[in-house]
């Protein structure tokens, strides 16, 4: 039995999350954000354990640290206290100009010893004992960026071992400065808080963001290059958080900024559970909903063996991934198709632009002919024929692209049967059906997909048309838009209907994204709609 079976029972939409993550991985738009949980499984202490090890050198400090902790001081503040004691105990240097450098060197050495004291000497032993480091390593070699909040270099060391062995995957760069550009076929491991390599002769970062003082300095520098770089990556990419508890305030800030600036863009966090019953269903629901509303963050609750298999699925090639997803969950699918439908000026193209965190398909695959921009009352038969040729060729090409779509979520501006909503008679519909069969679906039926119907009041549609440059005579009437909306609804009978008048463009996109990620998928059979009009 698959170790993901229990996880599927807890979260039936888990295959959807895998589909989205895999799609972003194939698009080189998936990044990893790694935290202390990964290193703990390798033998590195958690933050409180690290503080205890640093304080153990002085018995009085060890006692005082316990009292400070009971008083409610946060870990960064406790780190500041330990650093102050350490700094005060350092002897003066000769020359005195080396005092500061000597203190920082010895402080880094003390942290290094505390971090790696119980980590196996061989990276092979670390990988062999870790429940999912090998799988995480392989995913990391497929993404352009890993934002690492840890001081240790265990993940990059594991990647380096694979590179030495000639295993396929990206090359690697390790840095504590934000890279100016992403490089093709390269995974950048960016240690935002600094790095202390396990092999002591490797270059370490000049600063470690560990104490209250250093965190304050980092926050003060937030408007600088580093913060801007990370912010843009959060907005433009999909992040998978592994080993995090959301205790880091800077991480929460980036998630919140993404939520506000790119409302449709959702990130994912693996929430580690010691065993499947460790977190009750009600607590899981509380955490899931809070993270979703606060940070646009989808929380995936997994045990260590489940994390291993989850990452294994992401490491499959496309064919194997499709076969695996065909056996998972209620949907049993690895591709989801959506058609954005609505009257003119409802906001279809605006919505599509907001959904770039998925795969999107524009209204037209090539520029429309001049005749498309003429008023329907001012075109002759020859011009109408040119328009029809263009439209049917476009419908065939768009249908081919939807059939050829790879794993993930695919959104198309307009559905292929909108033309029925503009017919004047049953005979015109019958003629269109015949042309669809002959020119569009002869070799390939229309791809099924869920209809996402967006609308607005007729008054709002007239106003928007005028603001888009249409003259009052060409902007349409309220009666015209009422009829168009009802005609489109009659064609498709959509389950999902959303008014774009009540919400901002970003909020509309957020609701659509949450619908496709969290709710039932209801694909419309477009071939049966054609049958109705034949």
Residues 429 and 504 in one domain: yes
Burial class (CB in 10 A: 0-12, 13-18, 19+), 484: buried
Residue 122 lies in a domain: no
Residue 125 lies in a domain: no
Residues 390 and 421 in one domain: yes
Residue 466 lies in a domain: yes
Q: Which residues contact 515 (CB under 8 A, 6 or more apart)?
A: 452, 496
Domains in the chain: how many in total?
3
Residues 157 and 197 in one domain: yes
What is the pTM for the complete model shown?
0.93
pLDDT at 48: 85
Q: What is the CATH number of the domain that holds 382?
A: 3.40.50.300
pLDDT above 90 for 110 = no
pLDDT at 281: 93
pLDDT above 80 for 80 = yes
Of 57, 82, 116, the residue at which a domain comes to its end is 116
Residue 121 lies in a domain: no
Structure tokens at 386: 């040119």
pLDDT above 80 for 471 = no
Burial class (CB in 10 A: 0-12, 13-18, 19+), 120: middle
Structure tokens at 299: 């929380």
Residues 434 and 318 in one domain: no
Residues 320 and 389 in one domain: no
pLDDT at 458: 85
Residues 37 and 58 in one domain: no
Structure tokens at 16: 């959807």
Residues 275 and 405 in one domain: no
Contact (Cβ atoms closer than 8 angstroms) between residue 265 and residue 238: yes
Task: Please give the backbone phi and psi of residue 188, each rounded to the nearest 5 degrees, phi first.
Answer: -95, 125
Residues 37 and 110 in one domain: no
pLDDT at 220: 47
Residue 373 lies in a domain: yes
The Cα–Cα gap between 157 and 175 comes to 13
pLDDT above 60 for 9 = yes
Residue 285 lies in a domain: yes
Report in angstroms the alpha-carbon separations of 205 from 79, 153, 374.
Answer: 18, 12, 64
Q: How confident is the model at residue 472 (pLDDT cuts 50, 70, 90)?
A: low
Of 88, 116, 144, the residue at which a domain comes to its end is 116
pLDDT above 90 for 451 = yes
Residue carrying the six token digits 């005082």: 64
Residues 264 and 308 in one domain: yes
Residues 319 and 465 in one domain: no
pLDDT at 51: 86
Q: For CA atoms 181, 182, 188, 193, give the dihedral sign.
A: positive
For 140-259, strand residue ranges (E) read 145-148, 171-175, 186-191, 238-242
Question: What percentage of the chain has pLDDT greater than the value 90?
Answer: 60
The Cα–Cα gap between 185 and 35 comes to 24
Residue 330 lies in a domain: no
Between 217 and 75, the more confident residue is 75
Model pLDDT for residues 277-324, shown as the tens digit of each residue? 889 999 999 999 999 999 999 999 999 999 999 999 999 999 999 999
Residues 339 and 450 in one domain: yes
Does residue 135 sit in helix, strand or coil? helix
Model pLDDT for residues 335-381, shown as the tens digit of each residue? 999 999 999 888 999 999 999 999 999 999 998 887 776 666 667 77
Burial class (CB in 10 A: 0-12, 13-18, 19+), 305: middle
Of 296, 325, 354, the residue at which a domain comes to its end is 325
Residues 364 and 457 in one domain: yes
Task: Give the range of the structural domain holding residue 415, as residue numbers without chain letter.
Answer: 335-533
pLDDT above 50 for 189 = yes
Model pLDDT for residues 136-158, shown as the tens digit of each residue? 999 999 999 999 999 899 999 99
Residue 209 lies in a domain: yes
Q: Which residues contact 26 (CB under 8 A, 6 or more apart)?
A: 318, 406, 407, 408
pLDDT above 70 for 475 = no
């Amino acid at each position: 039995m698959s170790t993901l079976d229990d996880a599927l029972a807890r979260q039936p939409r888990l295959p959807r999350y895998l589909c989205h993550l895999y799609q972003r991985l194939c698009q080189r738009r998936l990044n990893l954000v790694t935290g202390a949980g990964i290193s703990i499984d390798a033998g590195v202490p958690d933050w409180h354990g690290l503080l205890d090890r640093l304080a153990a050198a002085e018995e009085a400090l060890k006692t005082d640290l316990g009292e400070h902790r009971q008083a409610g001081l946060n870990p960064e503040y406790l780190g500041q206290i330990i650093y102050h004691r350490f700094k005060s105990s350092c002897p003066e240097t000769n020359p005195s100009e080396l005092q500061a450098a000597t203190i920082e060197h010895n402080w880094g050495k003390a942290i290094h010893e505390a971090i790696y004291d119980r980590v196996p000497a061989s990276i092979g032993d670390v990988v062999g004992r870790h429940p999912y480091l090998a799988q995480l390593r392989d995913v990391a070699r497929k993404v352009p960026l890993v934002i690492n909040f840890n001081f240790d270099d265990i993940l990059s060391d594991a990647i380096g071992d694979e590179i030495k062995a000639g295993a396929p995957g990206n090359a690697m760069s390790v840095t504590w400065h934000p890279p100016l550009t992403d490089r093709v076929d390269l995974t950048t491991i960016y240690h935002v808080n600094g790095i202390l390599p396990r092999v002591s002769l490797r270059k370490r970062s000049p600063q470690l963001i560990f104490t209250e003082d250093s965190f304050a300095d980092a926050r003060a520098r937030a408007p600088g290059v580093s913060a801007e770089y990370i912010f843009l990556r959060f907005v433009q990419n999909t992040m998978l958080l592994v080993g995090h508890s959301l205790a880091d305030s800077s991480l929460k800030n980036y998630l919140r900024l993404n939520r506000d600036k790119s409302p449709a863009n959702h990130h994912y966090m693996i929430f580690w559970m010691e065993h499947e019953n460790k977190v009750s269903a009600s607590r899981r629901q509380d955490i899931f909903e809070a993270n979703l509303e606060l940070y646009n963050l989808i929380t995936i609750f997994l045990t260590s063996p489940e994390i291993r298999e989850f990452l294994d699925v992401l490491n499959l090639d496309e064919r194997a991934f499709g076969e695996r997803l065909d056996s998972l969950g209620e949907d049993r699918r690895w591709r989801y198709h959506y058609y954005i439908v609505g009257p003119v000026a409802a906001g279809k193209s605006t919505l599509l632009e907001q959904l770039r965190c998925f795969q999107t398909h524009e209204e037209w695959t090539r520029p429309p002919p001049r005749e498309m921009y003429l008023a329907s009352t001012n075109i002759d038969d020859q011009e109408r024929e040119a328009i029809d040729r263009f439209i049917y060729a476009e419908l065939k090409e768009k249908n081919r692209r939807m059939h050829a779509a790879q794993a993930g979520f695919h959104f198309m501006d307009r559905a292929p049967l909108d033309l029925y909503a503009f017919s004047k008679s049953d005979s015109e519909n019958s003629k269109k059906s015949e042309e669809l069969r002959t020119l569009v679906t002869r070799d390939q039926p229309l791809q099924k997909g869920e209809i996402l119907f967006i609308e607005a009041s007729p008054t709002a549609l007239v106003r928007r048309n005028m603001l888009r440059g249409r003259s009052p005579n060409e902007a349409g009437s309220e009666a015209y838009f009422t009829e168009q909306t009802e005609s489109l609804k009659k064609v498709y009978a959509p389950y999902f209907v959303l008014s774009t008048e009540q919400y901002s463009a970003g909020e509309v996109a957020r609701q659509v994204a949450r619908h496709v990620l969290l709710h039932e998928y209801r694909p419309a059979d477009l071939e049966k709609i054609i049958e109705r009009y034949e």
